[in-house]
Amino acid sequence: MSGARCRTLYPFSGERHGQGLRFAAGELITLLQVPDGGWWEGEKEDGLRGWFPASYVQLLEKPGMVPPPPGEESQTVILPPGWQSYLSPQGRRYYVNTTTNETTWERPSSSPGIPASPGSHRSSLPPTVNGYHASGTPAHPPETAHMSVRKSTGDSQNLGSSSPSKKQSKENTITINCVTFPHPDTMPEQQLLKPTEWSYCDYFWADRKDPQGNGTVAGFELLLQKQLKGKQMQKEMSEFIRERIKIEEDYAKNLAKLSQNSLASQEEGSLGEAWAQVKKSLADEAEVHLKFSAKLHSEVEKPLMNFRENFKKDMKKCDHHIADLRKQLASRYASVEKARKALTERQRDLEMKTQQLEIKLSNKTEEDIKKARRKSTQAGDDLMRCVDLYNQAQSKWFEEMVTTTLELERLEVERVEMIRQHLCQYTQLRHETDMFNQSTVEPVDQLLRKVDPAKDRELWVREHKTGNIRPVDMEI
């Protein structure tokens, strides 16, 4: 029936949904799409296009073939430095600032960080419900509606590969009010947002069964668990360094105590000097280890402990925010399903009244048809309103998920890099401590090389000699 012309019977405002065609009674409209469900797409003589209830018009002629209106054409644009362009699972282009992780639906201007509205081009695609346009183009479905936004292709999926789309058959789709509702098992997989990376924003949209089989865990919850586990590992590393500091402090205390020991303090000569230097080197080594423990505390343990002190609290806020968006999206989806069923019932009632009119079973049939038509139109308006609310919630959830997962990805990189730097600082302090310890031993080595038993004997004899007269033989 595409290409046929019709005349409007009643005025229609189209204000209840975003793509309605406004017209007055008696206008001529050329039909562009006439799917089942009671809503058609048409073009007025002034060039305006949109969707309207089929019960508001009367066909005037048989259709001729009219090519479908073109969709939005992709435009080649030059983005400012730091900005990347991606396609959302809804097929809508959005932009990400790789420096600040800012996301926006609007094309950034030549000044980095300042989005500018792209050239407008009205799309003829109908609203989306359950993740699909009327033409079957996939949009982003709710994660909580027992369907997977991204179905896993297994561990063998190559990095950077895009997910293939599946063709839908008439047996597993239902078209109501110019909206196609797919079966969850037939939903297409979607292209990766960052095909060259194993990014968080691509692989955590769906729920996952927990190992105990007691339920499911949201993909975003898995990311939060990883972040909190990383925070716990960081805390345990800090505790490990604290134990290391305690060992150093006890060792330094024992060395200092030992250096004050009076054992062998009466040794004389060059060996006595070397022995005194050995005890002094213990005191010097004790001081080195005390300084090492102090630096470990200030430069390693304390930064590890204080890094993101409120991290757990911030993660809970983030979790609640995303969870609220998921619940809102599920609620909008349920409203769409309810409105869709209501519209189906009104359409069925209208068809029944129309059949009664044809066989003239009642004089009131024509009045009943008008009433049924009004109810059908109202149900259609309700469905379109629910679809608009769902799409708004879906866009908000998608934008927040992408932004938040990229932020979690950045935080994880930052955490790992911070720990790496402080562990490098630990090894550097170890090297410095070893060098200082070596310097405390060098004077001892020098004195030990100067130990001369002959000279020590000479000095001692000079100091303690009693005389050089030896006994002689006696004569009788």
Cα distance between the two ends of the chain: 162
Q: Whose CA is closest to 243, among 207, 316, 293?
A: 293
Confidence bin at 54 (pLDDT 50/70/90): confident
Model pLDDT for residues 226-253, shown as the tens digit of each residue: 888 988 998 899 999 999 999 999 999 9
Rounded to 5 degrees, φ, ψ at 364 are: -90, 5
pLDDT score of 162 more than 70: no
CA-CA distance, 123 to 180, in Å (whole number)? 17
From the list 290, 295, 201, 306, the residue with the least C-alpha distance to 252 is 290
CA distances (Å), 320 to each of 145, 208, 220, 323, in order?
Answer: 19, 19, 11, 5
Domain map of the chain by residue range? Answer: 4-60, 174-455
- What is the helix (H) or strand (E) element at residue 218, kind and residue range? strand 216-218
pLDDT of residue 137: 33
pLDDT higher at 207 or 95 = 207
* Amino acid (1-letter code) at residue 51: W
Q: Whole-number mean pLDDT of the chain?
A: 75
Contact 37, 178 (CB under 8 A): yes
Residue 124: CA atoms inside 13 Å, Cβ hemisphere, count? 17
Cα(5)–Cα(64) distance, rounded to whole angstroms? 9
Segment 422-431 long-range contacts (CB within 8 Å, at least 24 positions apart): 422/299, 422/300, 422/303, 422/304, 423/300, 425/299, 425/300, 426/241, 426/296, 426/300, 429/292, 429/295, 429/296, 429/299, 429/300, 430/292
Question: Which pLDDT score is estimated for 187?
Answer: 52
pLDDT tops 80 at residue 303: yes
Q: What is the pLDDT of residues 40-52, one digit of tens each?
A: 889 998 888 888 8
pLDDT at 155: 35
Q: Are 3 and 66 in contact (CB under 8 A)?
A: yes
CATH architecture of the domain with residue range 174-455: Up-down Bundle (1.20)
353, 361 Cβ separation under 8 angstroms: no
pLDDT-derived band at 17 (thresholds 50, 70, 90) equals low
pLDDT value for 158: 35
Amino acid (1-letter code) at residue 141: P
The torsion angles phi and psi of 13, rounded to 5 degrees, stand at -85, -35
Q: CA 200 to CA 77: how far, in whole Å? A: 27
- Sequential DSSP letters for 12-63: B--TTSTTBPPB-TT-EEEEEE--TTSEEEEEETTS-EEEEEGGGEEE-S--
- Looking at residue 196, its amino acid is T
Does position 125 have pLDDT exceeding 90, yes or no? no
Per-residue confidence band for 301, with pLDDT thresholds at 50, 70 and 90: very high
The model's pLDDT over 205-218, given as tens digits with 9 standing for 90+, comes to 888 887 777 788 88
| Distance of alpha carbon 372 from alpha carbon 362, whole angstroms | 15
Instruction: Confirm if 90 and 139 have CB atoms less than 8 A apart.
Output: yes
User: In angstroms, rounded to a whole number, what is the distance separating the alpha carbons of residues 378 and 383?
Assistant: 9
Residue 298 DSSP class: I
Task: Round to whole Å and give the CA distance between 169 and 215.
Answer: 32
Give the pLDDT of residue 154.
34
Banded pLDDT at 70 (limits 50, 70, 90): very low
Choice among 132-136, 179-183, 273-277, 312-316 with the minimum mean pLDDT: 132-136
Structure confidence by residue, pLDDT tens digits, 317-358: 888 888 888 888 888 888 888 888 888 888 888 777 777 666
Given this model, what pLDDT does residue 379 score? 83
SS3 328: helix
Rounded Cα distance, 95 and 88, in Å: 10
Amino acid at residue number 276: A
pLDDT bracket for residue 425 (50, 70, 90) = very high
Q: What is the pLDDT of residues 164-218, one digit of tens each?
A: 333 334 455 554 444 455 544 555 556 788 888 888 888 888 888 877 777 888 8
**Residue 98 reports pLDDT greater than 50:** yes
Say how many CA atoms lie within 13 Å of 226 toward its Cβ.
16
Q: Are 407 and 317 spatial neighbours (Cβ–Cβ below 8 Å)?
A: no
Question: Any idea which residue has 């959005």 for tokens?
Answer: 94
Write out the CATH class of domain 4-60. mainly beta
Range 386-408 average pLDDT? 86
pLDDT at 448 over 60: yes
Buried-state track 379-411, b at ≥16 Cβ within 10 A, e below 16: bbbbbbbbbbebbebbbebbbbbbbbbbebbeb
pLDDT for the residue numbered 374: 83
Q: Crossing angle of helices 365-449/219-259, nearest 10°?
A: 20
Least confident of 22-36, 118-132, 365-379: 118-132
Q: What is the DSSP letter of 243?
A: H
pLDDT recorded at residue 346: 82
Query: How many residues in the chain?
Result: 476
Percent of the chain having pLDDT more than 70? Answer: 73
Q: Is residue 254 scored above 90 in pLDDT?
A: yes
CA dihedral sign of residues 430, 435, 436, 437:
positive
